[in-house]
């Protein structure tokens, strides 16, 4: 792919966007800490719960998802209808 921009400009923009993203992350973390402290709850790192029905994103499902996403849409809709019953 030919980029219309110079490589150095692209790298500069990527670094700038990374800095903006890091600043937004730090601001969100600080805001969360302030809210937790104000409510009297302990400040700790956020942990995602393990959901028992989150099997769709497991590694063994990757080939099945790949096949499902690459079959024609009509077939996909029929599969969806059959599984929804």
Parse the chain into domains and list their residue ranges.
8-45, 54-85
**To the nearest whole number, what is the mean pLDDT of the chain?**
87
Is pLDDT of 25 > 60? Answer: yes
Out of 14-23, 46-55, 61-70, the most confident range is 14-23
SS (H, E, C) 27-66: HHHHHHHHHHHHHCCCCCCCCCCCCCCHHHHCHHHHHHHH
Is pLDDT of 54 > 90? Answer: no
Centroid of chain to Cα 8: 28
Task: Please provide residue 43's backbone torsions phi and psi, each rounded to the nearest 5 degrees.
Answer: -90, 115
Say what the pLDDT of residue 2 is.
Answer: 66
DSSP state of 85: -
Averaged over 6-35, what is the pLDDT? 93
Say what the pLDDT of residue 75 is.
Answer: 93
* pTM tops 0.95: no
């Amino acid at each position: 792919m030919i980029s219309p921009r110079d490589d150095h400009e692209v790298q500069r923009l990527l670094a700038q966007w990374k800095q903006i993203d890091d600043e937004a992350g730090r601001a969100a973390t600080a805001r969360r800490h302030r809210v937790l402290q104000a409510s009297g709850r302990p400040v700790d790192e956020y942990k995602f719960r393990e959901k028992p029905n989150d099997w769709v994103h497991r590694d063994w499902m990757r080939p099945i998802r790949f096949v499902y996403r690459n079959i024609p849409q009509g077939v996909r809709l029929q599969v969806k209808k059959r599984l929804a019953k």
